């Protein structure tokens, strides 16, 4: 049972200290407020956290490292027909965002996923800037992003939209999907390997639950139609659930997220905008001033490229917006970080060069 849900020799070795305490491994397959459903070697069981673990988790809740989330591997004690969660194993990947509302806390949306399926509908609600945020967060998580463009059958002319998405995808696969006609389902299934976990992420109404049902072959998740006036959907999925597909792959469905505020995602933004940052670095060599901020300085090669269309203005403005958002959050948390902002460019440029090296297959200069 555990192997079906992704248990590995590496996890077994990491678990040895907990096994010595008499605990058993389990994976969180459903997370709801105050309760967890787990899968163990003996099957599914309801779980709760121990009092000791609750105290520890509360200390780290603001940074998202505390309470178990769907996809987590945990060490638990089986007691009285229930599982008492004592520890969360180290996460291999974590898809995070800044929690909604006024709080500045980090929220872990999904843990231990191999592939991030970023779903967007080919309707009036398609938003390239939102997709860029999802890509940045996926790269930051450590998972491999795949963009799914759903409801291709209801779009009169999908090809121009698909081309626009490919232009910002940075090499991530882009699949046009239609559950109604079956378009793209075989290609998606080929990307989902047995024992590997994928997470479905996107706004309400893009068809995530419908897609899960199609892959599962049965209705696992409830679905709703989108509103006709603005092409936006209503929340259908209210909890995060990890589902074992007939193919042996695992897919984690999540509630729709209209807002995706970034959290500590500098490297993810650099990866999502790798071509843009590489082009900026190349252009910056021709700027009049070495410390050019590429704003209103005379002799700025970046501004010249924007003016003649060589550099995509929409991508540049989106990149700048995400940079400002991240810098704002960092400065609020740590005033000293104001002096470190310029140093971040070193890491971003390095990430861009690494990306371009992989794409060209040539040496890293």
- List per-residue pLDDT tens for the chain, 365 residues long: 899 999 999 999 999 999 999 999 999 999 887 789 999 998 999 999 998 888 887 766 665 567 899 999 999 999 988 999 999 999 999 988 877 654 567 788 899 999 999 999 998 778 999 999 999 999 999 999 999 999 999 998 999 999 999 999 988 999 999 999 999 999 999 999 999 999 999 888 898 989 999 998 876 555 555 444 544 445 455 678 999 999 999 999 888 666 677 777 788 888 888 888 889 889 999 999 988 888 888 999 999 999 999 899 999 999 888 888 887 665 555 554 444 544 544 555 555 556 556 655 655 44
DSSP 286: T
pTM of the model: 0.81
Look up the CATH architecture of domain 102-253: 3-Layer(aba) Sandwich (3.40)
Strand-pairing partners, residue 82, are 79
Domain 266-360 has CATH 1.10.510.10: no
- Report d(CA 151, CA 176) in Å as an integer: 8
- Report d(CA 231, CA 127) in Å as an integer: 12
Whole-Å CA distances, 128 to 162, 228, 288: 11, 21, 33
Q: Is 313 exposed, middle or buried (0-12, 13-18, 19+ CB in 10 A)?
A: exposed
Whole-Å CA distances, 254 to 69, 107, 112, 246, 251: 11, 13, 14, 20, 10
Strand-pairing partners, residue 108, are 96
- Report d(CA 319, CA 326) in Å as an integer: 11
- Report d(CA 123, CA 99) in Å as an integer: 27
Strand-pairing partners, residue 242, are 252
- Report d(CA 121, CA 151) in Å as an integer: 6
Same topology for domains 9-88 and 266-360, yes or no?
Answer: no
Query: Which helix (DSSP H) or strand (DSSP E) does residue 242 occupy?
Result: strand 240-244
Per-domain boundaries in the chain: 9-88, 102-253, 266-360
Burial 225-249 (b: 16+ CB within 10 A, else e): ebeeeebbbeebbeebbbbbbeeeb
CATH of the structural domain 9-88, one choice from 3.40.50.2300, 3.40.50.1100, 2.40.50.140, 1.10.357.10: 2.40.50.140
């Amino acid at each position: 049972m555990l192997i079906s849900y992704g248990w590995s020799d590496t996890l077994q070795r990491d678990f040895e200290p907990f096994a010595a305490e008499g605990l058993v491994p389990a994976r969180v397959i459903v997370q709801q407020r105050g309760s967890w459903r787990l899968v163990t070697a003996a099957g599914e069981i309801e779980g709760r956290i121990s009092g000791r673990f609750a105290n520890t988790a509360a200390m780290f809740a603001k940074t998202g490292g505390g309470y178990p989330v769907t996809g987590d591997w945990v060490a638990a004690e089986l007691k009285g027909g229930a599982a008492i969660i004592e520890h969360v194993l180290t996460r291999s990947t974590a898809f995070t965002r800044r929690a909604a509302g006024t709080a500045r806390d980090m929220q872990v949306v999904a843990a231990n996923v191999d592939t991030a399926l970023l779903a967007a509908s080919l309707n009036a609600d398609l938003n390239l800037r939102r997709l860029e945020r999802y890509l940045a967060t996926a790269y930051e998580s450590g998972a491999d992003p795949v963009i799914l463009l759903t409801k291709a059958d209801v779009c009169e002319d999908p090809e121009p939209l698909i081309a626009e998405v490919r232009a910002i995808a940075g090499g991530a696969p882009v699949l046009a999907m239609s559950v109604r006609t079956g378009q793209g389902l075989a290609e998606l299934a080929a990307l989902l390997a047995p024992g590997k976990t994928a997470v479905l992420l996107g706004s309400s109404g893009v068809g995530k639950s419908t897609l899960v049902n199609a892959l599962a072959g049965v209705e696992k998740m409830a679905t709703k139609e989108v509103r006709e006036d603005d092409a936006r959907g209503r929340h259908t999925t209210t909890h995060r659930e990890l589902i074992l597909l007939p193919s042996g792959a695992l897919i984690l469905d999540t509630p729709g997220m209209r807002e995706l505020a970034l959290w500590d995602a500098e490297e993810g933004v650099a990866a999502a905008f790798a071509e843009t940052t590489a082009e900026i670095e190349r252009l910056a060599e021709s700027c009049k001033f070495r410390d050019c901020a590429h704003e209103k300085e005379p002799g700025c090669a970046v501004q010249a490229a924007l003016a003649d269309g060589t550099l995509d203005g929409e991508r540049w403005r989106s990149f700048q917006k995400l940079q400002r958002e991240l810098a704002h959050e960092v400065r609020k948390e740590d005033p000293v970080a104001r002096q470190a902002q310029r140093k971040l460019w070193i890491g971003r440029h390095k990430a861009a060069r690494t990306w371009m090296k992989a794409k060209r297959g040539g040496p890293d200069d």
